[in-house]
Structure 1
Amino acid sequence: MNTEQSKNPLHGVTLETVVVKLVEHYGWDELAKRININCFKSDPSVKSSLKFLRKTPWAREQVEHLYLSTFASQSEVKN
Structure 2
Amino acid sequence: MHPQPKNPLHGLTLEFILTRLVEHYGWEELGRRIEVRCFILDPSIKSSLKFLRQTPWARSQVENLYLDTFA
TM-score (norm 2): 0.95
Following superposition, the deviation at residue 55 of structure 1 comes to 0.2
Quote the residue 1:60 is aligned against: 59
Equivalences for residues 1-79 of structure 1 within 5 A: 2=2, 5-72=4-71
CA distance in 1, matches of 2:65, 2:48: 15
* Greater RCO, CA 8 A, separation 6+: 1
More helix by share: 1
Q: How many residues align?
A: 71
Identity of aligned residues (%): 69
CA-atom RMSD in angstroms? 1.2
Which consecutive unaligned segments of at least 5 residues does structure 1 have?
73-79
Which consecutive unaligned segments of at least 5 residues does structure 2 have?
none
Over 6 Å off, 4+ runs: none
TM-score (norm 1): 0.86
